[in-house]
A and B are shown apart, each in its own frame.
Chain A
């Protein structure tokens, strides 16, 4: 039926299409698709099935890792159009449709021969029987073999709930084991590295972790030792698996073999609320999923975004969440050291800014604040003729994801005009202004300026010091008006990463005590000063900002989606 189509001249599109059938449904798929490095390679049966909306179960295959083809879980039965060996013409049925040849064992034609869908390219007219009885039987057999030495300890396994072995067992497994022999026992609770614990008995030897650390992280640290049913994942004796990307192997592990020391035995994954967010540890802005329960953040996991981090993130960023739960979080509004409330504090800020002579106010707003907050700061400062800047935060970069700029929103600070391209150049000027008595009011958001160029003695010279922060610092202790702020996981907003990706993040948990998202009071102040029109929500505020900031022109909150939008920086 599709003969004519397969012989049709190549479409004008750059990638040639071929027609295949998946479970009897004909679809057109590109002849080549990007491999793990993004290079075009012949489309595989697994990719074709995915395009057809049919999931082929697999363990070792991962779209961002080289294909290994060792787990055999993706075995599928397939047929190809029969070819007359003499004439090299397709053999057709009476009705003109091509006669199909099922894949069978050459020496045993009654037995179907499966092919691994992850590594077998499609050919024109091929039919993939992704749900045929033979395919199902092959899957059941592979799964049974993988479970032979598995300890079946799901009730105490951290992977339970997000385990491919569990999921496929439900779909393709058998209720009872036929295995009567003694199971092979392998090492348990192997301390593979500072952040990784390995249970070799749960391992299905898919080698995803080996390929990740060798080909992505560039640290060829893991391998399979021993042989046969004693095969185990290990690092070389005396070598710790300790690169800055090890925890990605925990995400990659389709079973519960590799577990995070930070997360294991802490929380059942099905209790976690998952919130799309952005990592704040550097200006790369890796997309993350925050796993929280009842107001407590339990883990960060990378969220796939090929424009930013792919499916990975670094360990240091991933584990940098405990500060959100620190017991010394600022949670009380204070006016001149005494507990107060938001109405009083906000009107105090409004009146001291309103009465301030031009040039007597300065702002230091952290490049860890959201773009919306930085824009509000910039608008207020413009109204008052105030100096603004952010504090640069430099560190080490690596070749994969970690950026040298440790601020998540440096570009946001630059685009909104809070800081210049060279961040921090205005801070000495602010310090001199305070020294000379010209600057008498300083508003600090999310920074300890005593470490950023304005020391405690200078702060003591100020008439008014307004500080909004999350954690206590010498700056927050010196504050005349102290406004408890929110961690990114406690509010909504956007960050602009180092390459100009505008990315929004959502609220995962409620803020502590009286803490409030900084944009809320900043907007109240800005509206009272006549610097902006009020917006009711972060959506409205973002859209208003986008209309004002040239680099963000045309953007809308709703259009950002969960993957963000790139702007020129």
Chain B
């Protein structure tokens, strides 16, 4: 997989770096922009950022591993985010996640996001999705599924299986 930052994005980021008294301070903005563009922050992206900002790769790698919302692997085409904050937890989000995980043949005892080998789904627990009144909630890509039931889960899986190509 070749890593190539488009010239326009690169120019944008170079300009962005000038906003900070210390170039290092732009690290997070760089990583956000690169994740936005590539879908995840690869090792090449980390090294590119470090090179741009005059840092060592470890300095940027620390950041990427610290923040869970930076992804080091590409996401599945259907991204399932199950809320696990209080209201949803009380309303059974743990069993929703387990339902997704088992239906997709993933490992229920692993922490963190998991992606199916075919790249169709990524399932993970997230913190509050700000819809406590309609708990449990699940976000499928950019759509909120309120009062989610196991049959809603099955529908999400079925429609996700129908999608082909890359996200």
List A residues at the B interface (Cβ < 8 Å). 220-227, 234-239
Distance of A187 from chain B, by nearest CB (Å): 13
A-B interface, 10 closest residue pairs, ranked by CB to CB distance from nearest = A236-B57, A225-B65, A223-B58, A236-B58, A220-B56, A223-B62, A236-B61, A227-B66, A226-B65, A237-B43
Q: Is the CB of A234 within 8 A of B58?
A: yes
Interface residue? B120 (CB, 8 A): no
Alpha-carbon distance between A227 and B65 when the two chains are bound, in angstroms = 8
Closest to B46 in A: A236
Interface residue? B59 (CB, 8 A): yes
Q: Is the CB of B66 within 8 A of A226?
A: yes
Can you spell out 8 A-B residue pairs with CB atoms less than 8 angstroms apart? Answer: A221-B56, A221-B58, A223-B58, A223-B61, A225-B61, A226-B66, A236-B61, A239-B58
Q: Is the CB of B66 within 8 A of A236?
A: no
Give chain A's interface secondary structure class: loop
List the B side residues contacting A226 at CB < 8 Å: 65-66
Distance of A116 from chain B, by nearest CB (Å): 23
Q: Is the CB of A220 within 8 A of B59?
A: yes
List B residues at the A interface (Cβ < 8 Å). 43, 46-47, 55-59, 61-62, 65-66
List the B side residues contacting A223 at CB < 8 Å: 58-59, 61-62
Q: Is the CB of B65 within 8 A of A235?
A: no
Alpha-carbon distance between A239 and B46 when the two chains are bound, in angstroms = 13
Distance of A235 from chain B, by nearest CB (Å): 6
Distance of A279 from chain B, by nearest CB (Å): 29
Alpha-carbon distance between A431 and B43 when the two chains are bound, in angstroms = 59
Alpha-carbon distance between A260 and B43 when the two chains are bound, in angstroms = 28
Q: Most chain-B CB neighbours within 10 Å: which of A224, A235, A237?
A: A237
Alpha-carbon distance between A6 and B59 when the two chains are bound, in angstroms = 46
Distance of A215 from chain B, by nearest CB (Å): 13
Given the known interface contacts A225-B62, A225-B65, the answer about A238 and B43 at a Cβ–Cβ threshold of 8 Å is yes
List the B side residues contacting A236 at CB < 8 Å: 46-47, 56-58, 61
List the B side residues contacting A220 at CB < 8 Å: 55-56, 58-59
List the B side residues contacting A224 at CB < 8 Å: 62
List the A side residues contacting B59 at CB < 8 Å: 220, 223
Q: Is the CB of B58 within 8 A of A222?
A: yes
Alpha-carbon distance between A57 and B58 when the two chains are bound, in angstroms = 30
Given A223-B62, A226-B65, list of 12 further CB < 8 A pairs?
A: A220-B55, A220-B56, A220-B59, A223-B61, A225-B61, A227-B65, A234-B58, A235-B58, A236-B46, A236-B58, A238-B43, A239-B57
List the B side residues contacting A237 at CB < 8 Å: 43, 57, 61
Alpha-carbon distance between A234 and B62 when the two chains are bound, in angstroms = 9
List the A side residues contacting B62 at CB < 8 Å: 223-225
List the A side residues contacting B61 at CB < 8 Å: 223, 225, 234, 236-237
Q: Most chain-A CB neighbours within 10 Å: which of B43, B47, B58, B65?
A: B58
Closest to A220 in B: B56
Alpha-carbon distance between A484 and B43 when the two chains are bound, in angstroms = 56
List the B side residues contacting A235 at CB < 8 Å: 58
Closest to B62 in A: A223
List the A side residues contacting B43 at CB < 8 Å: 237-238
List the A side residues contacting B65 at CB < 8 Å: 225-227
Distance of A304 from chain B, by nearest CB (Å): 28
Closest to A219 in B: B56
Closest to B57 in A: A236
List the A side residues contacting B47 at CB < 8 Å: 236
List the B side residues contacting A239 at CB < 8 Å: 57-58
Alpha-carbon distance between A225 and B59 when the two chains are bound, in angstroms = 9
List the A side residues contacting B66 at CB < 8 Å: 225-227
Alpha-carbon distance between A290 and B158 when the two chains are bound, in angstroms = 69
List the A side residues contacting B58 at CB < 8 Å: 220-223, 234-236, 239
Closest to B65 in A: A225
Q: Most chain-A CB neighbours within 10 Å: which of B43, B47, B61?
A: B61
Distance of A70 from chain B, by nearest CB (Å): 15
Distance of A362 from chain B, by nearest CB (Å): 54
Alpha-carbon distance between A221 and B62 when the two chains are bound, in angstroms = 11
Alpha-carbon distance between A234 and B56 when the two chains are bound, in angstroms = 13
Distance of B119 from chain A, by nearest CB (Å): 22
Q: Most chain-A CB neighbours within 10 Å: which of B43, B55, B65, B66?
A: B65
List the B side residues contacting A234 at CB < 8 Å: 58, 61
Distance of B100 from chain A, by nearest CB (Å): 24
Alpha-carbon distance between A239 and B59 when the two chains are bound, in angstroms = 12
Distance of A527 from chain B, by nearest CB (Å): 61
Alpha-carbon distance between A539 and B73 when the two chains are bound, in angstroms = 68
Alpha-carbon distance between A220 and B43 when the two chains are bound, in angstroms = 17
Closest to B56 in A: A220
Closest to A221 in B: B58
Alpha-carbon distance between A235 and B58 when the two chains are bound, in angstroms = 6
List the B side residues contacting A225 at CB < 8 Å: 61-62, 65-66
Alpha-carbon distance between A220 and B58 when the two chains are bound, in angstroms = 8
Closest to A227 in B: B66
Alpha-carbon distance between A416 and B167 when the two chains are bound, in angstroms = 78
Alpha-carbon distance between A226 and B47 when the two chains are bound, in angstroms = 18
List the A side residues contacting B55 at CB < 8 Å: 220
Alpha-carbon distance between A254 and B49 when the two chains are bound, in angstroms = 33
Distance of A245 from chain B, by nearest CB (Å): 16
Closest to B47 in A: A236
Alpha-carbon distance between A223 and B55 when the two chains are bound, in angstroms = 12
Alpha-carbon distance between A224 and B62 when the two chains are bound, in angstroms = 6
Distance of B41 from chain A, by nearest CB (Å): 12
List the A side residues contacting B57 at CB < 8 Å: 236-237, 239
Distance of A142 from chain B, by nearest CB (Å): 23
Distance of A216 from chain B, by nearest CB (Å): 15
Alpha-carbon distance between A235 and B47 when the two chains are bound, in angstroms = 13
Alpha-carbon distance between A236 and B57 when the two chains are bound, in angstroms = 6
Alpha-carbon distance between A184 and B164 when the two chains are bound, in angstroms = 39
List the A side residues contacting B56 at CB < 8 Å: 220-221, 236
List the B side residues contacting A222 at CB < 8 Å: 58
Alpha-carbon distance between A238 and B43 when the two chains are bound, in angstroms = 9
Alpha-carbon distance between A234 and B46 when the two chains are bound, in angstroms = 15
Alpha-carbon distance between A227 and B59 when the two chains are bound, in angstroms = 14
Distance of B58 from chain A, by nearest CB (Å): 4
Distance of A391 from chain B, by nearest CB (Å): 41
Alpha-carbon distance between A222 and B61 when the two chains are bound, in angstroms = 10
Alpha-carbon distance between A221 and B58 when the two chains are bound, in angstroms = 6
Alpha-carbon distance between A222 and B55 when the two chains are bound, in angstroms = 12
List the A side residues contacting B46 at CB < 8 Å: 236
Alpha-carbon distance between A168 and B162 when the two chains are bound, in angstroms = 61
Alpha-carbon distance between A454 and B30 when the two chains are bound, in angstroms = 63
